[in-house]
Structure formats: structure tokens, C-alpha cells
């Protein structure tokens, strides 16, 4: 009898638990460790921040569904992973031992790395439901008293899609509130160019997004380092391609939402052999840690090297499709080990993204996510907005019902009109 533990219950952790349960035998045990019992659909947070969704619309209590699937749910949260001892120390002092561990914690939000950044400072966030609800109050204040807006992502950020999404969702909401004419908007990003997305662009994301910004009277600053944030003023260094200072900006704002850099969570950060210097989990092509061979990882907490040097540090995003493929590969690989076989499944590390703009949007597919690519496709239109709504409803239903079927690959196949997206691991080049 084996005991498999999934650490984390976000987008990756919940579907990891569902797929892992499908692979286990009747005598095996599965435990999920997380902080609290609620799952929130993070991709809907930009809508929450402008009042288009409420907490109840996107939150699921996992207690019932986990019990229905015979999955133990521990809600204390983890204080520290001890991989050499096959043990997780919980925040209440108790410990849980495991035969196999899947780390799916997501990231720690590094607001503290920039003075004045984040919900405890002077900018808003859409990374967490509580942040988005606070941002909604700031949005209401902006509508009541319009002024300049700064949206973007700071140096070291790796999740640029939500920044672009929120930029245009906010622009749409301001137009609907009939105050857009009194709100100058600036996009500030560490990317070397608009539409880079941490992926060196996908299709014509550069042209599409620049065109959208021009059409909506949005200015931008690329190669930007946010030095500090004061009440109503953001200090930004714009750099040249060689990293030297091009210009210093003191940008006034009445409202700002800036995505932070990510790092590994404290429970795993600094464990030699398990994580890189930023605290992300080191894995091989099978999602398995090279040092601790019974530890796997999926999701945003996985270490992926950047695409290449950029004037300002830019990370690589982990999209939903990529995470789904990591989950499926991990579940099958642990199942193989339980049956006396070696892991053989490689995740489809492709990128599929729906970026909603409130009344339109941009979609892209990158296969593989790191160039050169077999598929390098992007498109825009109102259909993206409706597809994102459909995705939200579908995914939340899947979480509530305890289903493990994938969504992103189906979406990509329909968009591209092809039969199969081949799996290409970005580091090894293995194709499946």
C-alpha cells in the first residue's frame, strides 16, 4: 500500500489529486495538504477586480468533493518539506509521511523585493482572490475620482498574460463607467518588447498587442525596472538593450496593478538538491526531482530556465495547458513506479493561452513554447472573450465534480484544426 501526498490545491494541485486518484489502486492512499479548504479560480481574478465576479462565483469548497473521491484533505498547510526523511512538517507541528510526494504549491509572491509594491504597499494585485477584492475597492475609488493608471509586470516576473488581460479589462470597465476619457493609461513591463510574454512572442503577439494599445490610447514602457513605489508615484528605470540606463521615470498614478516576481514557497525554499536559488523545484523530463527520486513537481513552482538573456530579467510562464500536461505525465509516472516500471511519460510543454480583454481578446498556441516552433499561432477577436467565459464555467464544474479530463489540448486542437499536439520537452527535445 502506497501513500501519495499532493502538496498544494491550486489549479495544478487539485487536478493532480483527481488524476492521481484515477491511477491508484484500492489499497493506496492519497492526501492533499493545503492552507484552508477553498479553491479559487485564479484566471477569473481580473474580472473580480472590476466587479464582474464575486468570490462565491469562482470559489469551491473542496471538503465535500475530496471526501467524495476518498482523498484525505489536510487544511493546516505545510511548514517545511523534509525530503530526506519522506516527511512533511505541518504548521500545527504534526507531520505526514509519504511514499511519493507531488509538489504543486504554486509560487510565493515576491512583493517585498521592491519597496512599496503590492497590496500591503501602494499597488494592487490580481494574483489572489483577496488581492482582487481589494483591487475592486480601489477600482471603485478610481471611477469616483479618475486619474492616471499604471498596469504591468516588474523585473523577474514570469506571468505576463494576466497583466495584459487586466490592462484591457480595466480599460473596458472604465469605458463602460464613462470615465475613460479622464484616465491616462500606461503599461510598464520588464519585457524587451510588447507581446514578448516571457516566450519571445508567439505568432504576431507583438503586432497584435501593440495595435490594441494604440487603438485604446495606452502608452507603454518596456525594458523597465520598478525601483520603488510611493503613494501615487512609481519610480521606474527604463534601460537600453545593453542594460545601461536610458531614462528615469517618475510616474504619477491614482490606481496601479503590477504583477510581482515569483519565487518558491518557504516550505521548500533553500533545500539543497530540491530547489534552484529562487526556490523553484528542480525536475527532469518526467517531472521528477533528480536528487529525491520519489518527489515530483507540477505547476508554477517548477524550475524552468529563462528563454535567454534580456536587458531586464524576464521569467518563463507556466500556462494552464502546460500544467495539465505536467499533471497527466506525473500521475502516469507515479503509477508506473507503483507497478514496478520506470517513468516514461513526458509532459506536453506547449503554451496555450486565452487572454480576455473584456469585450475581445487574444489567443495563442506555441508548440513547443521555446522557439523554434512547429506551431506559432495567435489570433484575436470577440470569440476569445466568450471562450474564456466558457473555460471558466467548464473548469469550475470540473473542480466541483471531481473530474480529471483535460481542457486546454481540446481547445488548441479545435483552434488549429489539427489532430494532435506533439509533446516536445524544452530541455531534452524529446518528442512523443
* DSSP-derived 3-state class of residue 22: helix
What pLDDT score was predicted for residue 364? 84
Look up residue 65 and give its three cell numbers: 468533493
Q: Cell 469605458 sits at which residue? A: 175
DSSP assignment of 230-296 equals ETTEEEEEEE-TTS-EEEEEEEE-SEEEEEPPEE--TTTTT-TTTB-TTSPBP--TTSB-SSSTTEE
Report, in angstroms and rounded to the nearest whole number, the Rg of the chain calculated over CA atoms: 21
Q: Any residues with CB less than 8 A from the CB of 235 and at least 6 apart, and which? A: 226, 227, 228, 229, 248, 249, 250, 251
Q: How does 387-403 read in b/e, with b if 16+ C-beta sit within 10 Å?
A: bbeebbeebbebbeebb
Catalytic residue among 197, 271, 283, 353: 353
* Beta carbons of 80 and 166 less than 8 angstroms apart: no
Q: Can the peptide bond before residue 127 be classed as cis, meaning omega within 30 degrees of 0? A: no
Give Cβ neighbours of residue 133 (< 8 Å, ≥ 6 apart): 48, 49, 55
- Residue holding cell 510574454? 197
C-alpha cell at 415: 483552434
Residue recorded with cell 501513500: 3
Listed as ranges, residues in the chain with pLDDT below 70 are 404-432
d(CA 277, CA 310): 19
Among this protein's residues, is 40 annotated catalytic?
no
pLDDT at site 345: 96
Q: Which tens digits make up the pLDDT trace of 270-309?
A: 999 999 999 999 999 999 999 999 999 999 999 998 877 9
Annotated active-site residue in 30, 157, 159, 209: 159
Which pLDDT score is estimated for 406? 60
Sequence-distant (6+) residues with CB within 8 A of 210 are 194, 195
Place of cell 530547489: 275
Rounded CA separation 203/112 (Å): 34
344 and 371 Cβ atoms separated by less than 8 Å: no
Per-residue model confidence (pLDDT) at position 423: 41
Known active-site residue 159? yes
In the 8-state DSSP scheme, what is residue 200?
Answer: T
Print the SS3 string covering 108-152.
Answer: EECHHHCECCCCCCCCECCCCHHHHHHHHHHHHHHHHCCCCEEEE
> Cβ(315)–Cβ(300) under 8 Å?
no
CB-based contact 216:183 (threshold 8 Å): no
**Residue-level pLDDT at 358:** 92
* pLDDT score for 410: 54
Q: CB under 8 Å to 176, separation ≥6 — which residues?
A: none
Contacts of 174-178 spanning 24+ positions with Cβ under 8 A = 174/142, 174/143, 174/146, 177/143
DSSP label of 24: S
Could you tell me the pTM of the whole model? 0.92
Going by C-alpha positions, the residue among 31, 24, 28 that lies closest to residue 8 is 31
CA distance 320 to 352: 7
Q: For residues 41 and 10, give the distance between their C-alpha atoms in angstroms, rounded to a whole number.
A: 8
| Residue 98 confidence (pLDDT) | 98
Amino acid at each position: 500500500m502506497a501513500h501519495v501526498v499532493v502538496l498544494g490545491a491550486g489549479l495544478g494541485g487539485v487536478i493532480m489529486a483527481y488524476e492521481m486518484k484515477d491511477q491508484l489502486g484500492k489499497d493506496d492512499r492519497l492526501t492533499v495538504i493545503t492552507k484552508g479548504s477553498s479553491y479559487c479560480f485564479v484566471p477569473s481574478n481580473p474580472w473580480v477586480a472590476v466587479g464582474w465576479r464575486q468570490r462565491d462565483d469562482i470559489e469551491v469548497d473542496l471538503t465535500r468533493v475530496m471526501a467524495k473521491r476518498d482523498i484525505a484533505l489536510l487544511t493546516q498547510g505545510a511548514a517545511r518539506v523534509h525530503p530526506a526523511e519522506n516527511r512533511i512538517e505541518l504548521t500545527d507541528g504534526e507531520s505526514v509521511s509519504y511514499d511519493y510526494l507531488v509538489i504543486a504549491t504554486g509560487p510565493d509572491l515576491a512583493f517585498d523585493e521592491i519597496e512599496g509594491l503590492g497590496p500591503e504597499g501602494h499597488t494592487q494585485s490580481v494574483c489572489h482572490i483577496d488581492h482582487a477584492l481589494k483591487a475592486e475597492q480601489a477600482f471603485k475609488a478610481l471611477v469616483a475620482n479618475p486619474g492616471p493608471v499604471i498596469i504591468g509586470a516588474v523585473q523577474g516576473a514570469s506571468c505576463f498574460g494576466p497583466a495584459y488581460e487586466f490592462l484591457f479589462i480595466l480599460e473596458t470597465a472604465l469605458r463602460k463607467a464613462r470615465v475613460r476619457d479622464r484616465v491616462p493609461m500606461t503599461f510598464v513591463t520588464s519585457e524587451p518588447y510588447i507581446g514578448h510574454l516571457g516566450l519571445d512572442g508567439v505568432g504576431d503577439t507583438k503586432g497584435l498587442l501593440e495595435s490594441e494599445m494604440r487603438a485604446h490610447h495606452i502608452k507603454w514602457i518596456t525594458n523597465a525596472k520598478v525601483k520603488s513605489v510611493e503613494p501615487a508615484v512609481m519610480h521606474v528605470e527604463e534601460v537600453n538593450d545593453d542594460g545601461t540606463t536610458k531614462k528615469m521615470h517618475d510616474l504619477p498614478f491614482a490606481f496601479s496593478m503590477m504583477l510581482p516576481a515569483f519565487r518558491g514557497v518557504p516550505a521548500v525554499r533553500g533545500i539543497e538538491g530540491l530547489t534552484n536559488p529562487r526556490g523553484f523545484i528542480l525536475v527532469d523530463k518526467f517531472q521528477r526531482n533528480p536528487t529525491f527520486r520519489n518527489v515530483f513537481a507540477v505547476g508554477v513552482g517548477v524550475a524552468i530556465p529563462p528563454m535567454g538573456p534580456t536587458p531586464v530579467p524576464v521569467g518563463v510562464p507556466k500556462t494552464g495547458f502546460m500544467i495539465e500536461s505536467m499533471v497527466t505525465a506525473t500521475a502516469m509516472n507515479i503509477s508506473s513506479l507503483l507497478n514496478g516500471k520506470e517513468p516514461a511519460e513526458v509532459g506536453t510543454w506547449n503554451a496555450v493561452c486565452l487572454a480576455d480583454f473584456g469585450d475581445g481578446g487574444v489567443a495563442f498556441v506555441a508548440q513547443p513554447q521555446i522557439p523554434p516552433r512547429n506551431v506559432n499561432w495567435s489570433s484575436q477577436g470577440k470569440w476569445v472573450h466568450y471562450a474564456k467565459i466558457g473555460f471558466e464555467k467548464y473548469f469550475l464544474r470540473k473542480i466541483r465534480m471531481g473530474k480529471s479530463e483535460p481542457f486546454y489540448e481540446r481547445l488548441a486542437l479545435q483552434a488549429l484544426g489539427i489532430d494532435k499536439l506533439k509533446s516536445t520537452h524544452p530541455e531534452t527535445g524529446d518528442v512523443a
